[in-house]
Amino acid sequence: MSEPLSHPARKHPSRPRTVLLRGGEVHSPADPFATAMVVEGDRIAWVGEEGAADSFAEGVDEVVPLDGALVTPAFTDAHVHTTATGLALTGLDLVGVGTLSDALARIRAYANARPADRILLGHGWDAGIWPEGRAPSRAELDEVTGGRPLYLTRVDVHSAVVTTALLDLVPGIRGRDGFHDGAPLTGAAHHVARKAAYATVTPAQRAEAQAAALARAASLGIGSVHECAGPDISGEDDFTGLLALAREGNGPRVIGYWAELIASAKDAERIRELGALGAAGDLFADGSLGSHTAHLHAPYADAGHTGTAQLDAEAVAAHVAACTEAGLQAGFHAIGDAALTSVVSGVRAAADQVGLDRVRAARHRVEHAEMLTEDTLAGFADLALTASVQPAFDAAWGGEDGMYAARLGAERARTLNPYAALLKAGVPLALGSDSPVTPLDPWGTVRAAVFHRTRAHGISARAAFTTHTRGGWRAIGRDDAGVLVPGAPADYAVWRTGDLIVQAPDERVQRWSTDPRSGTPGLPDLTPGSDLPVCLTTVVGGRTVFGPPNE
């Protein structure tokens, strides 16, 4: 299939520019058999079948023949760290490196190629997949960098290894919580090391990284990203610079969250002045399973402790109450079952204080929400908390022999990421990547949600696709977007793909929902091993941000 070609027609400067896309497959609940769509300015104006498209052809400014391509709403990645993603794309990326010795060789080569960098930055090591079974030692890192400062995050970004020279740049780091000589940095020690490392990134480097990340997102059919920033993650200049870059309109939309506790209307106003939608995102209630910092009720199977609690229920309640009173979204990073218990208990206490209906209406959110229990899952449903989840985590670390099982034991690991149960309970989902923890990969994310490593947790392709498109918009309080219907924002992507089908995780799903006669719009075959769709064009607000430009 060739790429869609543009055929400009006569322009009408007195009205919004109009485009007719025809001759493809348009994924729309307005018409499950749609083959054409009209865009007027920044909105969808019409969706329908080919015969009716003839009546529009003479009056539009441009006709785009789709040549059988699929048109869908653009994806929303509901959890991204944009600058870190860009630095990984343009710098030292160890994701997927299979051995410690190969990682050290790559670090050495990178250090030799960047003699002018004040601090070497890298990401993505994972000792869990290395035959050596351990992180690189400080002595090894000192040797391969020639004694230069290096900050290198684990794949989950919740711990890091550093060189002696980096430690020497951070006064008092050896006395911080999370510093254990000979072990990766976690907790407060990690946060101060990260702050020192990223402080050396110049505005030009930062802008280059952000532009690279947004360009990659656009090339994958992603029309919006939720930036999860905060004082423990990135600086205010980084955050406001990214929002300014996004306002130029050359890439995906960026919805910003700033992860800082608030206690007053004055605090809330500062969050707004930064340009953030909410005091949410990675406001840490705990850490991660891979780094043994997620907060558990019972000890890790491979460590004699229960991780790290960073917020208790009282702190959660105060934050949620203040955000609700101020009309801001609140939200938390919570992975372990104990952390999720604290979050749900805190949100419930806030609801008792300011009113349950007001808390529900605020659409507060929880990032990751991996280790849910029956009680906390029910709490999510009752409190209308959005679960912002990352199916690629299960694809990477789930299964009987995966990292989750190593950390928790197989029985507890099988309870993680229960997407089917969340949807059954009515919990709103928004899908994302947590990039650079896992790559920007929207169709791969949908596939991972369908073909969950724990079979009972898988959901239909339709449900996964909807939560990765419309779900991200609903998570920011917009119910009118993320779907191709008249009046919706013109955020869409065009794909080269194979035959469309209606796919479920297994035969237990009711037959009517997968029968073509049900009128359910089809989606690409996501069976593991099959080719995923290739993005040809991405349009945001009626503007092409990837692919052939509109003339």
Tens-place pLDDT, residues 429-458? 999 999 999 999 999 999 999 999 999 999
Which residue in 281, 322, 282 sits closest to 158, CA to CA?
282
The percentage of residues in the chain with a pLDDT greater than 70, rounded to a whole number, is: 94
Measured CA to CA, the distance from residue 335 to residue 283 in angstroms comes to: 12
Q: Between β-strands 120-125 and 160-162, what pairing exists: parallel, antiparallel or unpaired? A: unpaired
Positive/negative CA dihedral, 367, 369, 375, 378:
positive
Question: 126: burial class by Cβ within 10 Å (0-12, 13-18, 19+)?
Answer: buried
Give residue 202's pLDDT.
Answer: 87
Question: 326: burial class by Cβ within 10 Å (0-12, 13-18, 19+)?
Answer: buried
Average pLDDT over residues 490-519: 70
Give residue 86's pLDDT.
Answer: 94
Residues whose CB falls within 8 Å of the CB of residue 200, separated by 6 or more in sequence, listed in order = 117, 118, 119
Maximum Cα–Cα distance for the chain, whole Å? 73
pLDDT tops 60 at residue 260: yes
pLDDT tops 50 at residue 394: yes
Mean confidence (pLDDT) of the chain: 92
**In 58-137, which ranges are continuous DSSP H helix?**
82-90, 100-113
Q: H or E stretch including 500? A: strand 500-501
pLDDT tens by residue, 78-127: 999 999 999 989 889 898 899 999 999 999 999 999 998 889 999 889 99
**Confidence band for 232, pLDDT divided at 50, 70 and 90:** confident
Q: Where are the beta strands (DSSP E) in 138-295?
A: 150-154, 160-162, 222-229, 253-258, 278-279
pLDDT tops 70 at residue 519: no
Give residue 455's pLDDT.
Answer: 94
Give residue 441's pLDDT.
Answer: 98
Give residue 222's pLDDT.
Answer: 98
The percentage of residues in the chain with a pLDDT greater than 90, rounded to a whole number, is: 82
Residues whose CB falls within 8 Å of the CB of residue 296, separated by 6 or more in sequence, listed in order = 306, 307, 336, 337, 338, 371, 408
Give residue 10's pLDDT.
Answer: 38
**86 alpha carbon, distance to own chain's centre:** 14
If you ran DSSP here, which 8-state letter would residue 173 be given?
Answer: G
The answer to pTM > 0.75 is: yes
Measured CA to CA, the distance from residue 362 to residue 23 in angstroms comes to: 41
Residues whose CB falls within 8 Å of the CB of residue 349, separated by 6 or more in sequence, listed in order = 313, 314, 316, 317
Q: Do 61 and 489 meet the contact criterion of CB atoms below 8 Å apart?
A: no
pLDDT tens by residue, 520-547: 788 999 999 999 999 999 999 999 999 9
Measured CA to CA, the distance from residue 393 to residue 335 in angstroms comes to: 12
Average pLDDT over residues 133-140: 94
Q: Where are the beta strands (DSSP E) in 34-191?
A: 36-40, 43-48, 62-65, 70-73, 75-80, 92-93, 120-125, 150-154, 160-162
Average pLDDT over residues 283-306: 96
Residues whose CB falls within 8 Å of the CB of residue 416, separated by 6 or more in sequence, listed in order = 370, 371, 394, 398, 404, 408, 454
pLDDT tens by residue, 332-371: 999 999 999 999 999 999 999 999 999 999 999 999 999 9
Average pLDDT over residues 468-478: 98
Give residue 513's pLDDT.
Answer: 43
pLDDT tens by residue, 402-427: 999 999 999 999 999 999 999 999 99
Measured at the CA of 94, the angle between CA 88 and CA 96, to 5 degrees, comes to 115
Give residue 434's pLDDT.
Answer: 97
